[in-house]
A and B are shown apart, each in its own frame.
Chain A
Amino acid sequence: MAAAPRARTQPATVSPEAQQRAYRHFDLVVAVILFFLGMALYHVVTMLTVGDWDFWADWKDNRWWLSFTPVVELAMPAAFVYIFWARFRLPFAATLLTLCLVTAEWINRSLNMHGWAYYPLNFIWPATLIPSGIAIDCILVLTDSLLITGIVGGFLWGVMFFLGNWPLITPFLAPVNLHGSLMSIADLQGFHYIRTGTPEYIRIINRGTLRTFGQDPIYLSIAFAGFMSIVVYMTFLGVGWLFVRSQFSWLKKI
């Protein structure tokens, strides 16, 4: 007995315009999911790696904050840059992620650290990595090369972190005399606004002897951040490459 003929599947779209509309809807859904996913993932990574340097104004020093933060924050964008570039030739992954991060941070600082724990927002504002993200994405478009982007863009990632954030902390570095001790306004905020779990000695600020070079370690910190960002960028491009190479088979399994 012959098998009954299979019913023809109705096509998903009936015209090129409808197909384009379906593609745009798909783009929109993915963009929304990516935004929230980016906020959650990048924020968790930031809290676990940068932590206190990003939480408090009196941790934002001219040595560790400027050099440590951009270096560890580059890992995740670098991997996403590779995936977006290799599969879609889309050069906005770093900007998107840094925007996700700053959005998530402001939500967290406003609702959690200010709303629940009462810390004033002018003490717990986050840093922004958007200037670094724009720089690395733009260099990728201009050079069309991941290698040159790694070298030039990686270095700019560290430099732009300084340009974007040093103006934010500067007003908090005015000097104050508190009963015979010289403090910056940010230090005074840290003293006034009690943190039971973060005693003064736990701050990792200005440690080391970089002051030997012209009294101010800031330019060395920026240069160090730039060079290390090159290394981190190239390393995590490799992680992105591994994801792409696997053809997302792990995702398909899920």
Chain B
Amino acid sequence: MKSRLISAKLFAISILAIVCGVLGSSVAFAHGERAQEPSLRLSTIQWYDTKWSAQTIAVNQELVVTGRFHIMSSWPLEIPSPETLTFLNMGVPGPVFIRAESSVNGINGVSSMALKLGGNYEYRVVLRGRIPGRYHVHPMLDVLEAGAILGPGQWVTVTGNAASFDDWITTLTGKRLNLATYGLRHVITWHLVWVLLAVVWLVYWLRKPLLIPRYEAVQAGEGDKLITRSDRMMAAVMLAASVVVGIVALSITSLANPVTIPLQSHQTKAPPLDEPPANITVTPQTTTYLVPGRTVQFRVRVTNHRDQPITLGEFTTANLRFLNSAVRKPDPDYPAELIAPAGLTVQPNRPIGPGESVDLYLEATSPVWETDRLTALMSDPTSRIGGLFMFFDPDGKRSLVEFSSPIVPTFTGNPQSES
């Protein structure tokens, strides 16, 4: 009696837990980008200048995603390098868009390509709306044996009717066809022909007494008598019919499609953008993560080898942007959740003259270090932080400098603060 009562209580608790779990859960809309390990987001590919041509499009309308990415020269040794093969992809929930075209540094994006460590690349992807809905759209780089590395995501709404989607192309033989539906009737027709043949063969056997009488006959040593002359005739007819149907199908489709090619596999090498060197050196001294303040604190020595003064305007890592408000204003089209409201604190916040070396103290404060799970790097085997510093000269010309440094957590006080 007592055990029955305990069982009933356990059952009730289990049901309650399931109900609470279902009711309390929130719907997942994005791609789990926060679940990627921090070292993969902080130290591999830095995406910047990402732009989405619209935030609402209709079915069949184009959405153009453009931008640049930097492949870190300090790519972690434990992660397979993009110098083998990568593929520019899109992080979207399946084919709710079609990818009409894409390119990396002008090279057709149908190719998988080897990229250079330390290189900067410019990409362009043209999508077309297919299924109405609201989707998080990321550029994404698939790296062979490392997996997908997502760029920043923007919400884009597709409106209209999915049934109105079409995808017209012209083959090299001049045939114009709708890729959305092409060939389906052909495939289904031949599938049905084969299903019909299979059903004929099965019905032939299923109309006879099957299991028990035949089992008894086989056990009695009379199994050979179970296959009759008419069974053999039927088998001969079915075999001949199958071969004939196969040959006829092959002939018909070969005549209808005289020019065919094997499936193509495109793989190439993409050289980085040809850009002048930044002529700026950033030497990390100490980098700490202040856990109570959700702040990354940098001490770096910056040396300006150029003939113009420069000012530090931005630090970007893992798609997050920390802007020095004295130099850079937020881009209104960039996802607001990826721009740290507190910005980047720079001390001293003044131009660095030509030939000058200055020790800078920087603070990048944002709750996103926690909410984007980037501080989980404390449990990574590689506690490093990477990113891009963006310096600007008086003409507004930008220079990028890669940054990579070990990072140490501090759990009390504010040990690096200038104050």
Footprint of B on A, CB under 8 Å? Answer: 20, 23-24, 26-27, 30-31, 58-62, 86-92, 95-96, 98-99, 102, 106, 117-122, 125, 128, 130-131, 133-135, 137-139, 141-142, 144, 160, 163-164, 166-168, 170-189, 191-197, 199-203, 205-206
Contacts and interface: CB of A to CB of B under 8 A. Distances in A.
Contact of B184 (A62, A122, A191): A122
Nearest to A96: B202
Q: Which of A117, A120, A137, A203 gathers most chain B CB within 10 Å? A: A120
B298 interface: no
B16 interface: no
A174 B173 CA distance: 8
A178 B90 contact: no
B227 A89 contact: yes
Contacts of A60: 263
Nearest to B125: A194
Contact of B215 (A88, A92, A193): A88
B239 A142 contact: yes
B406 interface: no
30 contacts: A23-B213, A30-B210, A58-B263, A60-B263, A61-B262, A89-B227, A91-B235, A96-B202, A102-B195, A118-B96, A120-B184, A122-B180, A125-B184, A125-B187, A130-B197, A138-B239, A163-B250, A167-B190, A167-B246, A168-B190, A171-B182, A174-B257, A181-B110, A184-B261, A184-B262, A184-B263, A194-B97, A196-B148, A199-B112, A201-B85
Given A27-B210, A92-B202, A125-B184, A181 B111 contact: yes
A230 B194 CA distance: 23
Interface stretch (B59-67, B98-106, B372-380, B390-398): B98-106
Contacts of A133: 198
B252 interface: yes
Contacts of B238: 134, 138
A163 B249 contact: yes
B256 A171 contact: yes
A24 B212 CA distance: 9
B55 interface: no
B179 A189 contact: yes
Contacts of A180: 108
Contacts of B231: 91, 141
B194 A174 contact: no
A58 B90 CA distance: 18
A166 B245 CA distance: 12
Interface SS majority for chain B: mixed
B356 to A, nearest CB: 45
Contacts of B101: 178-179
B94 A117 contact: yes
A178 B197 CA distance: 40
B329 interface: no
Given A134-B242, A138-B236, A176-B172, A192 B108 contact: no
B11 interface: no
B246 A173 contact: no
Given A102-B195, A120-B181, A122-B184, A185 B171 contact: yes
Contacts of A58: 263
B211 A200 contact: no
B186 interface: yes
Which 9 pairs, one residue from A and one from B, show the smallest C-beta to C-beta distance?
A163-B246, A199-B142, A173-B260, A199-B87, A201-B112, A141-B235, A167-B249, A138-B239, A122-B184
Interface in B170-208: 170-173, 175, 177, 179-184, 186-188, 190-191, 194-195, 197-199, 201-202, 205-206
A145 to B, nearest CB: 11
A170 B186 CA distance: 10
